[in-house]
Structure 1
């Protein structure tokens, strides 16, 4: 059988595949045998070994446990997943991973760090279904920053519109809003809703993120059409956006009142009880 020989220096994905094959062969296992041990198919093992499929953290942890590789693949997978992000976002993802505080304002949808798998999958699949499983896994992997010993403090101000923008259908939205409610009392992750009643506000120009660091200058990140992001450490821009964000937080509902609004929208708009036309029952 022809065996694809990877260049481990070509990319993090190639390096991962090279190491996976080396560890498996050192253990004297075929792809099928390893798959049986870790409860995955031998075909998937082969696809990952040949850099045709992106590994997940769970896959990596199972292989490390099965082959006694001391967490090697579990450490490598973080580099692999980050390398699969769009080129224009990779630097920002690195800043996101090392930030001590992240502040985000979102006009129309929930921020990626708070998205459920179904919600993220729907958002990413709007224009293309290509490699959707891998792209979804890559997005969700960014949420691991909250599992660090010292996670960043995360502040999210969501426009009320984001609660009503039905992404993926009622069940997906119900699950997503329940996810937001799960952060009540978290302390590290804080969600506020900017209500429609706030009227005109300082975020009307669009969504943006603020990243703050220990010992480094803060960064503002905005995103536009055309598949590009715009990070900047320009002091004047950061100062203006920081002021905008302060005003948004002041105009938003408290964390407790925000949770009550989210709960009400979840029950009334996306609750399981509805009439035949799909409209919520008051």
Structure 2
């Protein structure tokens, strides 16, 4: 009878209810994921902030379970960077006794808090509670994801540029971080493929409000952009953006909008 009392029946869950577990401890990640999968959820895992951001780009999540203490960028920093209107609900986890993490996390917009090591059944109960409370928000996120899936991308040499979302994905579908200036410059190049563009022309199209008004500003930005466009096999940047001596630069790849 005691075993029956402790058993937790599997709750019927929409198969598209996808969760993301972010924790640098592989044991905790896999055990937590396996437990939640056994209760009907689709679960992905990420080992750090960078992997979390890549996962958020690739999938629409109903909820994120986020560890606070991670090497590199910590969980609170990641939480602070999320766009509140479009990001999924977040449950933060921190070691027992770190009261400041709980308070700061909730003030930053976390939907709930659970101490580590977390009891799997308590975590499951909190996930269910947060999902119920946030159903209208989740409906809006799902609708936005459907609209985004119909978005047109600028595609070149196996790269994918999202002009509306201001995001660049490499041939392995990894999100590449671009500064505002790099994004503007890339858009200018991609929208004028196989044409020689002068430095003045690129400066006019890509500069922000505080841009420097001299040719070398574009040369520096081009150099940075080429590094961002470098593939893991070494190909990319210099091949895609060619220097035309005494004239400017040319984007050499064919570009499709689809």
Q: TM-score, normalised by structure 2?
A: 0.28
Higher relative contact order (CA 8 A, sep 6+): 1
Q: What TM-score does the superposition give when structure 1 sets the normalisation length? A: 0.26
Point out the structure with max Rg over C-alpha. Answer: 2
* More strand by percentage: 2
Q: Which has the higher helix share?
A: 1
